[in-house]
Chain A
């Protein structure tokens, strides 16, 4: 059978669709011009400025810290929630399921505003902690749904087999259930991490003095700053790191897959 060219063409189209905007951003980070799209000469100056901009680095570190804590916590809580939803059928769990689903469709602005009002009325001062709490509230639902999907395909027989063979409840969980669910939990965590790191609306409302995250800082820079291309430089660096992480994680995962 003659091989078709259609897969190749679709792949190229999809790649272009995804990566052309990113390529132009990388290119722009080396362009001497601020606004002009035309090429004004190669420069490292935006990268040099980035190193001098403590405020941007500070905001980036804030974002990373918040995303790490929020995704880890929502991984744990989300997995617990998924277990509860999967195992028990009751009115309470129906209500639970609904409340897990609501944050997925709730507008961010509403969530940000209500969280702010909650913090203000309870007298909690706005800080990094309030941002983390807010991020956990919306990340949790995503993790729960991803883990729940994984649990629905889960064969309970293997756990029962482990118990029959003398494993304690905890051993069965640690050696059987967790490894099977882990890809789902990690996928949920990764989703939570991305959601947290680029959230703007909720973060703006619940952030306190000195807790600017990268998105809130960048949005503000768009308004008055003369150094916006610094963000292109930062994005390029973040892109390189993302690719490196994805590449290493793929090379780590591959041997396990090929064995099975």
Chain B
């Protein structure tokens, strides 16, 4: 090998390590989402159907993802933020308007959910997965429990309760107990909710976002406030646990599919969203993730066991009281100051 050959081969080898995308002619779709938030089957069938490569990149909080996109990070074709963050991204003009002609499967989307979604016309986002934030208790330790936010006031559970360390969820629960909207921005209503939350704070062990799962599984806590996806998994391991949606209603959080304006593969991104709205794919995803996809056509394809979950598929009268957390916009300081009062009480 002479020197010229050597230089050309080594520099080519070096260049390929730097630019892996150039050697590959296949199209790639970059999805910025949560880890384990797409079933392997759904990913594989998309790659086959469109002869492309799916690259999954993960984030662990809406706020971190938002900060990153706002600073100008690009390269993503589809992102999966929670609904209230979609509104914020939209307000900051970071999202592309969806082309419904490329999304025929939108007909499958469950209209009973859609009518109260934050983006009910699916202008920039399509709902992907939803799950309520609910309460879970140990049957043997909480006799004659009524599924209500008032459980948090029970004297006999003092020091054995955890609440999420999340102002939207805790003050939202207090607002619903009082009969107000969980997204209320009325100062008077928030004032009352603060009083309820302070009363709760005196009764609980702590505000807690991670340990409540093991806490209730091991019997350390009797009543916890947490995310349905996790609580249902814990319930499968400890038969004494009961998960309930309070009768006053709960927040039903949704993560949505959106396309950032900076996407370089808009067509493929639409195909991806359309693929996930396919009834069969949505059913696969639901069983894999353990959340509910608001896809009416997919419900009948679910296993009996999954479909009968009263938490993911609550009866109509309860579901009617469940709402997604709204984007507060410039009313946010009202909430943060209310939460401050609870935390400092």
Asked whether, in the complex, the Cβ of B35 is within 8 Å of the Cβ of A209, the reply is: no
In the A-B complex, list the 5 residue pairs whose CB atoms are closest, starting with the nearest.
A209-B30, A220-B58, A225-B36, A220-B35, A120-B72
Q: Which residues of A contact B30 (CB under 8 A)?
A: 209-210
- Interface contact B73-A222, CB-CB below 8 Å: no
Take A113-B71, A207-B57, A220-B60 as given contacts and tell me if A226 and B217 are in contact as well, using a CB distance cutoff of 8 Å: no
A211 interface residue per 8 A CB criterion = yes
Q: Does A157 count as interface, using CB distance less than 8 angstroms?
A: no
Name the distance in Å between B236's Cβ and chain A's nearest Cβ: 8
B156 to chain A, nearest CB (A): 24
29 examples of A-B residue contacts, CB within 8 angstroms: A33-B237, A34-B233, A34-B234, A35-B217, A35-B237, A36-B234, A37-B217, A38-B217, A55-B35, A113-B71, A117-B72, A120-B72, A126-B73, A204-B59, A204-B64, A204-B68, A205-B68, A205-B73, A209-B28, A210-B28, A210-B55, A211-B57, A212-B57, A220-B34, A220-B59, A224-B35, A224-B36, A224-B229, A227-B36
A35 touches B35 (CB 8 A): no
> Cβ of B185: which chain A residues have Cβ within 8 Å of it?
none
Bound complex: CA A212 to CA B61 (Å): 15
Interface on B for A, CB 8 Å cutoff?
Answer: 18, 28, 30, 32, 34-37, 55-61, 64, 67-68, 71-76, 210, 213-214, 217-218, 229-230, 233-234, 237-238, 289-290
Bound together, the chains give a CA A34 to CA B235 distance in angstroms of: 11
CB distance from B189 to the nearest CB of A (A): 30
Least Cβ–Cβ distance between A238 and chain B, in angstroms: 18
By the criterion CB–CB under 8 Å, are B290 and A226 in contact?
Answer: yes
Are B59 and A36 in contact (CB-based, < 8 A)?
no
Which of B57, B61, B217 interacts with A36 by CB under 8 Å? Answer: B217
Chain B residue at minimal CB-CB distance from A208: B75
Contact partner of B60 (CB less than 8 A), chosen from A34, A36, A219, is A219
- Whole-angstrom distance between the alpha carbons of A43 and B37 in the complex? 25
- A155, chain B: closest CB distance, angstroms: 41
CB <8 Å contact, A125 and B55: no
CB distance from A153 to the nearest CB of B (A): 39
A216 CB within 8 Å of chain B: yes
With contacts A36-B218, A126-B73 taken as known, whether A222 is within 8 angstroms of B36 at the C-beta atoms is no
Inter-chain pairs besides A211-B57, A220-B59, A222-B60, 5 sampled, C-beta below 8 Å: A34-B234, A35-B213, A204-B64, A219-B60, A220-B58
Residue pair A35, B57 in contact (C-beta under 8 Å):
no
Min Cβ gap B255→A in Å is: 9
Given A36-B217, A117-B71, the answer on whether A55 and B238 have CB atoms closer than 8 Å is no
Of A117, A121, A125, A221, the most chain B CB neighbours within 10 A belong to A221
Q: Which residue of the partner chain, among A34, A222, A224, contacts B237 with CB atoms under 8 Å?
A: A34
Enumerate chain B residues within 8 angstroms of A220, measured Cβ to Cβ: 34-35, 58-60
Chain B: which residue is nearest A209 at the CB level?
B30
Closest Cβ neighbor of B31 among chain A residues: A209
Q: Spell out A's residues near B (CB within 8 Å).
A: 33-38, 40, 55, 113, 116-117, 120-121, 125-126, 129, 204-205, 207-212, 216-217, 219-227
Instruction: Give, as a whole number of angstroms, the nearest-CB distance from A36 to chain B.
Output: 4
Q: Which residue of A lies closest to B61 (CB)?
A: A223
Residues of A close to B28: CB separation below 8 A = 209-210
Inter-chain contact B58/A217, CB cutoff 8 Å = yes
Which among A55, A207, A216, A220 has the highest number of chain B CB atoms within 10 Å?
A220
- In the complex, chain A residues whose CB is within 8 Å of the CB of B233: 34-35, 226
Once bound together, how far apart are the Cα atoms of A54 and B332, in whole Å?
41
Cα A98 to Cα B331 in complex, Å, equals: 43
Instruction: Please indicate the chain A residues that have their CB under 8 angstroms from the CB of B290 in the complex.
Output: 226
Given contacts A209-B57, A224-B229, contact A40 B36 (CB under 8 A): no
Cβ 8 A contact of A222, one of B75, B210, B218:
B210
Chain B residues within 8 Å of A211, by CB:
57
A113 to B66, CA, bound (A): 12
A217 CB contacts on chain B under 8 angstroms? 35, 58
In whole angstroms, how far apart are the Cα atoms of A125 and B289 in the complex? 32
B213 nearest CB across to chain A (Å): 5
- How many Å lie between the Cα of A150 and that of B290 in the bound state? 55
B238 engages A221 (CB within 8 Å): no
Give A226 to B231 CA distance when docked, in angstroms: 11
Known contacts A33-B237, A209-B30, A220-B35; A120/B58 CB under 8 A: no
C-alpha spacing A113/B289, complex, angstroms: 32
- Return B296 CB to nearest CB of chain A, in Å: 23
- B214 near A36 (CB under 8 angstroms)? yes
For the complex, give the distance between the alpha carbons of A139 and B330 in Å. 41
Assembly CA distance A131 to B311 (angstroms)? 41
The answer to whether A216 and B60 touch (CB under 8 A), given A35-B214, A113-B67, A224-B35, is yes
B75 to A223, Cβ gap below 8 A? no
Are A55 and B217 interface neighbours, CB within 8 A?
A: no
How far, in whole Å, are A236 and B210 apart by their CA atoms in the complex? 22
